[in-house]
Structures are given as C-alpha cells and as structure tokens.
Amino acid sequence: MKKTSYSFVGGEVSPEFWGNVGDSKYQSGLAVCENMVVKPHGPVENRAGTKFVGICQTPSTKNRLIPFVFNQNQAYVLEFGNQTLRFIVKGALVQSGGAVLVKETPYLAQDVFGIKYVQSYDVMTLVHPSYPPYELRRVSAGAANDALISAQANAAVASNALAAARATAQAESVNNPPNAAVLAAQAAYDSAVQETTLAIALFDAALALYNANPNPATANNLASKQFLQDTAISNERAANLALIAAREQNVSPATLAALLAAQTASDNANAAVVAAQNAVAAANGATGGFVLSPIVFTPSVGPPTAGAAPVAQVTEAPPETVVPPTYPNNNPTPPDTYNDSNDNIGANDTSDQSESGIGSGGAGYSP
C-alpha cells in the first residue's frame, strides 16, 4: 500500500521502528536516507558535493576524517592516518613554515575507526579501547586572535561604505552625459565582445571538426581555439570592469573623491586582515593551533587534566583476612534451630509466616 508523505523531518529510522505505524516519527520517517540532507522544516535535498583537498598523509592505509567545529566561522576537519594527524581549514591543509603541518598521534591505521570522540568548545576528548584517553585542545592565539576579529569587523564596515559610495556614483553617472573616458571604455568593451563572439564560433567549429575526425592535428587545433576563447572571455570581463569604473568616475569631483577615499579605506582594511591572519599563524607556530596530550587521572585532587603529572599514586589494598563465623560451643556448623526466649521461633515452627528462622532467608542462627 502506498502512502503520501508530506514531511521527512523524522529522518532515517531504524528497522526496529518500522512496525510502529501509529507513531508520528513513523509518519515522517524514512527507511533509507542516503546522500540526502533532511531540512528542519520537512523536505530533503541532495547533500553537498565534495572537494579534492590533497592526498592523504598515509594513502596506503586507512584514514579517517573527524569534524572539529567550534562555531559557524571556525570549523576544521581532522585527518587521522597511521600515527599522523593533519588539519583542513576552509578547503586547504594547514601549513607551518611552508610545509603541510603533520602531528604525531599514538593511533595506528587499523585503529582510527575505533576512536570515539566528544567535543566541548575548544577541547575534543578521544577514547579507544586499546589506548589511554587523549585530549585535543585548540590553543588560542590570544591577543593576535583578538586583533584579527577587530580587523575583520573593520573590513566589513569599510566594504559596506565602499558599496554605498559606488551605488551613489553609479546613480549620479546615469544622469550625466558620457565623457571621453566612458566613451573609450565603451568602445573597448564593444570590441572585446566581438572578439569573444568570434573566438566562441572558432572553438565550436574546431570542436565539430575534432568530433568528426579525432586525431593529433584536430586535437591541437581544438586546444589552440580553446586558449583563444578563454583569453577573449577574460579580456571581455576586464573591459567590462573598466567600463564600470569609468562610469563611476563620470561624476562630480565631490562624489569621485568620496568614492576613491572609500576604495582606499577598503583596501587598507583588507590588508590589515591579511596581516592579522599572518600574526595569528605566527602565534600558533608549529602547534598549528592544536595540542594533543594524554589525560592523566589524579583521583586525589579531582577531575582529570590533560598533560599534568600525577600528584598521587593509588596502590592496591592488601587482600582482606576472612574470619570464619563462630557458633555456640565452638560448633563449626550452624545449629538447626534458633532458640530465643522472646519469640520461640524454630526452624520448623509454624507460628510465623516464614518457614525457617527470622524472615525467609533460611535457618537462623546467632553468630
């Protein structure tokens, strides 16, 4: 029987749940949700594609990727290989001193998929049945990081100011007759468009020739026409930017001065961001911003800490000495009855709900 589902917010449910047809999760669940992402408001969509960042540090062995997400703007991918750890940030491997940063870890390649992890802010705890627990701690760059945040905020303000100045200049330029610079830029742009159109036609003809008769000569001809087409498209884009700049400068001196000042401020702010990023990288140094250290448990002083030496040792207590119970008259076995002048409860006494001794645990005795 087919049913119509209007929401998949329940996500993929386990087979044990398939028979629970009355539950709301069943009504919005999926038996299989592969290569899809469930959106919070119900629909599903294809997952995002992947990007080739580089070859694994140990390509002949198993490698595992683990996410390290501090917030929306600070996220990393950890690549665990055969006793190696590398870091991927914004689609690129983290480098130190001009080379890809590689840290040593105790985990062998065959054990990386057995690592269990949990993250809290800047600290990720790693555990494995065959290894002691470890902590991967992100080291803050301190003042350098604060300076980067401030530089990024200033760059955003400068970028907004530049966008406002350009919008003002473009609006004023529309009402002004084109000057010599605008006319020259327009002519250059029109010529670039014609060159692009011709280059595209030549490439299409070379492609058709190659498809009809593929050989080294037609392949070389196709490659040369491809180069011409790419060059023409690049020149057209450059001419278009030059035309926009000429139109923006076809304004009053005051508007032009404001535009140039905003452009200079934005360029300086972006340069400050680059300098702050370099300062953060230098502050992190060879650590790459992360430190991996074993967790040493010190029960006498409180919770475990990473990298600390134990301040107390726990020694095993000696085995306890077992003292056998003693019975009346040094009898090694318990008596059959328990005689007490107050209750007179015996092993076979039927005056109590219990059949043997006090309670129901068996024959009672006095140690």
pLDDT tens sequence for the chain (367 residues): 666 777 888 888 888 877 777 777 777 888 888 888 888 888 888 888 877 888 888 888 889 999 988 887 778 899 999 999 998 888 888 877 678 888 889 999 999 999 999 998 888 999 999 999 998 887 765 666 677 778 888 888 999 998 898 888 888 888 888 888 888 988 999 999 999 999 999 988 988 888 888 888 888 888 888 899 999 999 999 998 888 888 888 888 888 888 889 989 999 988 888 887 777 666 655 445 677 777 755 554 444 444 444 433 433 444 444 455 555 565 555 555 444 444 444 444 444 443 333 343 444 433 4
pTM here is 0.39
- Residue whose tokens read 């029987």: 1
* Residue 333 neighbours by CB distance under 10 Å: 7
